[in-house]
Amino acid sequence: MLLLISLGCDDTDFLTEEPQSFYTTDNIFTSGAQLDQVLISIYQQVRNFSKNDLLMGKGTDFFDAPDFRLSTNFSDYTRINARNGEINEIFRYYYSNIKNANTVLDPANLQGEFDSEASKNYIIAQARFFRAYSHGMLAELFGGVPIVTELSQEPRFDFVRATRAETYQFAIDELEAILDDLPETNPQGGRIVKACAQHFLSEFYLALGTETSNDEDFDQAISYASDVIDSSPYALMTQRFGVRVNGENTVTGGADVYWDLFRNGNTNYSDGNTESIWALQFDYDAYLNGDGSNVKHFPGDYAPVYRFLTGFTGTGADAGGRGVAYNAPTPLTEDIIWEESISAGDQRNAEHNISRIVYYNDPNYPALLGTQIPQDILDMDYQGRIFPIYYKVNTDIYEGLQNGENRTNIWTDTYAIRLAETILLRAEAYYRKGNSQMAANDINLIRSRAQCDILATAGDIDIDYILDERARELYLEERRWNTLLRMGGTVATDRIKTYSLHPDIVLSTLSFDFNLWPIPQEAIDRNKDVVLEQNPGWN
């Protein structure tokens, strides 16, 4: 009897898996709201990777791990190759963004309900923006890569590399297609707006022109940059503004508009900052509320270890926080670009922006206490522990101390696009097109704002000048590897050989001039049905 009951049950039904406490692709995409949530995931990934020190320029002419952390440096070309894990991580990151964007754009997923046609179009436009952006970034760093426009339903092993120009062109076509679906500004600060697409159109046209030597591309680069610079709500900030408009740096004294640009609460367009086109969002309360990735360890990672000096103790604001110096500036970003001959009057090098003066503070050394640490002491060899405090990535007022935070972290938003960079893109496009005067004019927009005594002339302008100006304006802000690698030729390796923090290591290990990173071996190996060519010189 029981046997019969048992046999009578429906076996198929009994064995069917129906998840009860989580979602699958079969049941989640019911409306536009869920697709917008996919965009949230992309926004978060972009924010989290904005902290990636390799993307920020580790190993370039910007910064590197100091001597006492040599095992983590990015100058040793016996370690930098197709099997490098950090490069692989970045490669994967962009394809993960592409996958998420393709999830939004999957026709099946777009079947659900949307609030309006306009909201649907904006969701699609953001997804296409991120897909274009990721392909463009890959093209800058790795050259031509497989262009992926569909969400995988099952594994494929036969991806084919497009050329670098094709990859740029794909990104350009996509961005041009969505311009009308993006708003000029968005009260929900941090969302993609039209100027984001225009900025990257300028950048990718510039990159494409550099790759193909086609002047028309430079024209396009100039045109799209001009759309942002001249006929959009965006404009350089020239007056002090924001939450500390009347305040000064509490450690060094002094303040200016450049300092204001990097203060917490000043970084969004909605904060009254018309220079901010796209800011990646950080917020201490959000961190407390459970967004654990919403934090930057910059006062730790990019600040010096003054407490290493006899007579100096503690990890207070006077030391730039609890610095552990994972990264230290190169001679270029610490000194060379700030030489008096070029930077006289430059606010960007003012003590309140780059602090080079420190005072003894250990009560156990009463004779020293309160006196300035002499330059010859600071110049001694501490294996890279001692260097200036860059207030761009640091602060004088730390959040969370009342809750036990220890001056390692900061929650100020990061610029993904600041108008100053758009202007420098246009300057470069003008220069590449042969119009040095227009280039100098653009650069002087930046230098005038910084109150520089010395302005650029048409005769000054060359690629190195542009790269130096970018370093002055965009240190720890731009994606330096992208900038160097998209220049082509030997620009990247020339700069690295000249300005690396570890030039001897670079010279003894760098055996060829590269202008593309290696395609990760893993990406090549896994694509078993089609051979993907490695970039020249890497193996």
Residue 269 beta carbon to other proteins: minimum distance, rounded to whole angstroms: 8
Candidate residues 116, 117, 380, 528; the one interacting with other proteins per rule CB under 8 A: 528
Cβ of 9: how many Cβ atoms within 10 Å?
9
Using CB under 8 A, which of the segments 19-27, 234-242, 387-395, 448-456 binds other proteins? 19-27
Q: How far apart are CA 283 and CA 209, in angstroms?
A: 39
Residues 353-392 that bind other proteins (CB under 8 A): 362
Please tell me whether residue 214 binds other proteins under the rule CB under 8 A.
no
Q: Identify the sign of the CA torsion 131, 133, 136, 142.
A: negative
How far apart are alpha carbons 417 and 422 in whole angstroms? 8
CA distance 25 to 533: 34
Do 166 and 116 contact (CB within 8 A), yes or no?
A: no
Minimum distance, C-beta of residue 196 to other proteins, in the bound complex (Å): 14
Q: Which stretch binds other proteins (CB under 8 A): 167-175, 187-195, 448-456, 495-503?
A: 187-195
Options 289, 341, 375, 511; binder of other proteins; rule CB under 8 A: 289
Cβ closest to other proteins, residue 157 vs residue 370 = 157
Nearer to other proteins by C-beta: 217 or 405? 405
Contacts of 244-247 spanning 24+ positions with Cβ under 8 A: none
Binder of other proteins out of 30, 31, 119, 293 (CB under 8 A) = 293
Residue in 113, 117, 152, 341 binding other proteins, rule: CB under 8 A:
152
Stretch binding other proteins (CB under 8 A), from 171-179, 185-193, 440-448, 455-463: 185-193
Q: Which of helix, strand or coil describes residue 21?
A: coil
User: Of 31, 118, 156, 455, which lies in the binding site for other proteins, with binding defined by CB under 8 A?
Assistant: 156
Q: How far is the CB of 187 from other proteins (least distance, A)?
A: 6
Helix (H, G, I), strand (E, B) or coil at 283: coil
CA distance 485 to 308: 36
CB of 88 to other proteins, least distance (A): 8
Residues 6+ apart with CB under 8 A from 67: 383, 384, 502
Residue 423 and residue 439 in contact, taking contact as beta carbons nearer than 8 Å = no
**Amino acid making up residue 358:** V
Cβ proximity of 488 and 495 under 8 Å:
no
Tell me the number of residues near other proteins by CB under 8 A. 92
Per the listing, tokens 């590897």 go with: 481
Which of 526, 533, 536, 537 forms a contact with other proteins (CB under 8 A)?
526
Pick one of 110, 148, 236, 377: the residue that binds other proteins (CB under 8 A). 148
Within 242-271, the residues that bind other proteins by CB under 8 A are: 268, 270-271
Q: Exactly one of 30, 406, 448, 457 binds other proteins (CB under 8 A); which one?
A: 406
Contact between 351 and other proteins (CB under 8 A)?
A: no
State which of positions 98-137 bind other proteins (CB under 8 A): 98-100, 102-103
> Applying CB under 8 A, which of residues 67, 291, 351, 494 lies at the interface with other proteins?
291
CB contact at 8 A, 429 and 222: yes
In the DSSP assignment, the letter for residue 58 is B
Contact call for residues 419 and 345 (beta carbons, < 8 A): no
Min dist CB 319 to other proteins, Å, is 10
Can residue 23 be called a binding residue for other proteins (CB under 8 A)? Answer: yes
> Candidates 38-46, 53-61, 339-347, 349-357 — which segment interacts with other proteins by CB under 8 A?
38-46
Pick between residue 155 and residue 366 the one whose CB is nearest to other proteins: 155
Interacting residue with other proteins among 281, 437, 441, 490 (CB under 8 A): 281
**Nearer Cβ to other proteins, position 13 or 376?**
13
| H-state helical runs in 280-418 | 284-288, 298-301, 331-334, 340-343, 375-378
Q: Could you please report the per-residue DSSP string of 165-194?
A: HHHHHHHHHHHHHHGGGS-S--SSTTS--H
As measured in angstroms, the least distance from the Cβ of 456 to other proteins is 34
Sort strands 414-418 and 63-64 into parallel, antiparallel or unpaired: unpaired
